[in-house]
Amino acid sequence: MREEVNLRSQRKNEHVQHALNQKPQNVISDFDKVHFVHHSMPAVNLDEVDLSTAIGDMKFDVPLYINAMTGGSSWTKSINEKFGKVAEATGIPMAVGSMHAAVRHPELSGSYSIVREVNPEGLVFANVGADVSLEGAKKAVDMIRADGLQIHLNVAQELIMPEGDRDFKSWQSNIKSVLNGVDVPVIVKEVGFGMSRETLQLLKAAGVKYVDVSGRGGTNFAEIENARRSAQDMDYLSDWGMSTVQSLMESKGFQKDMTILASGGVKTPLDAMKSLALGGSAVGMSHTLLKYVEDNEVEATIEFVEQFFNQMKKIAVMVNAKTIEELRTSPIVFSPDIVSWMEQRNIQSP
């Protein structure tokens, strides 16, 4: 028992350490292949820009969130505490990392519930894997009095991880049972490999309303898990998955019926604005904020988030958009390989 607790805490620490060491991926990201069209005479002043958004009944003014990362060890408890303070000061939602360990070993629960202690009124999301039971999901939600529950889909990560899961067929029925059994909104998310139209279709059929496509371009769990393998022989999968831009294009046909959230490789306010323009209702960041908070501590990270948001609003002015809705009607030009992806996947240009 103790051995399993130690193993899980150690694995989480390794993930965080590898993620912190990870260099920004491809010098040219897919966000650089999406171009806004500059507007020289905007009919909107900076202080009129309103990028407020909602995930179901959860409304928030700054369309950003701290995506799932940490908890389960003393180091990652301290990171959760810092993120909790950043979320509280900036009003953005935050998710904790996978709570699987604490569901089975309640002595670890403090490393997650710290986010509630420091941010009693904020929007906080619990996080579990799709192998979770309904009972486990309920425990995770209760543990941090969560406003929402993220269920992560991480098949690529599990398969590359030597000690990872090998059975996935129960995921669909688990998701359905959690959807029907918990009384908070359920957000199904990837962990950096993106989501296809086919996956979204299955989620929609299961009744899922909130999806975070979390695409390739930032944290790369194929590389992280490969680095943790003693054989290190699955390096060739480092490009596996779809970028956040490709995933958002895949989600086009679902954006009316589902709330699509964008994460994966968001580094700048411009990346975030492009994510919103392509249909994301809010933008999640993990690596960018993890690196920032570990290098600069809480006050500077609060300032970073505030500046990030201010700059998003400036970009809104330059494309003549007052709201996220208007941003979605802004003209966009795609570089050829994104056009080719859309053509081959039969996705209409927006």
CB of 273 to ligand FMN, least distance (A): 16
Site residues for ligand FMN, 43-72, by CB under 6 A, read 67-69
122 binds ligand FMN (CB under 6 A): no
The residue at minimum Cβ distance from ligand FMN is: 218
Rounded Cα gap, residues 213 and 190, in angstroms: 6
Q: Which residue in 266, 313, 262, 263 sits closest to 288, CA to CA? A: 266
77 binds ligand FMN (CB under 6 A): no
Q: Which of 273, 290, 321, 342 binds ligand FMN (CB under 6 A)?
A: 290
Closer to ligand FMN by Cβ: residue 49 or 312: 312
Q: Which two tokens stand for residue 233?
A: 């022989």
Rounded Cα gap, residues 149 and 325, in angstroms: 26
Work out the number of other CB atoms within 10 angstroms of the CB of residue 217: 27
Q: Is 211 exposed, middle or buried (0-12, 13-18, 19+ CB in 10 A)?
A: buried
Binding site, by residue number, is 11-12, 68-70, 98-100, 127, 157-158, 189, 214, 219, 265-267, 286-287
Single-letter residue type at 314? K
243 binds ligand FMN (CB under 6 A): no
Binding segment (CB under 6 A) for ligand FMN, from list 141-149, 168-176, 225-233, 283-291? 283-291
Rounded Cα gap, residues 226 and 231, in angstroms: 8
- Burial code (b: 16+ CB inside 10 Å, e: under 16) for 183-210 equals ebbbbbbbbbbbbbbebbeebeebebbb
Binding site for Mg(2+), by residue number, is 158
82 binds ligand FMN (CB under 6 A): no
CB of 208 to ligand FMN, least distance (A): 15
Binding segment (CB under 6 A) for ligand FMN, from list 41-49, 186-194, 274-282, 304-312? 186-194
> Roughly how many angstroms between the first and final C-alpha of the chain, as a whole number?
53
Give the x/- contact pattern for ligand FMN in 146-185, rule: CB under 6 A: ----x-x---------------------------------
Site residues for ligand FMN, 248-277, by CB under 6 A, read 263-266
Rounded Cα gap, residues 341 and 193, in angstroms: 16
Instruction: Indicate the helix (H) or strand (E) that contains 187.
Output: strand 186-189
DSSP secondary structure letters along 56-118? TTEEESS-EEEPS---SSHHHHHHHHHHHHHHHHHT--EE----HHHHH-GGGTHHHHHHHHH
Closer to ligand FMN by Cβ: residue 67 or 281: 67
Q: Which of 116, 139, 189, 313 binds ligand FMN (CB under 6 A)?
A: 189
Residues that bind ligand FMN (CB under 6 A): 15-16, 19, 67-69, 97-98, 127, 150, 152, 189, 191-192, 214, 218-219, 263-266, 285-288, 290
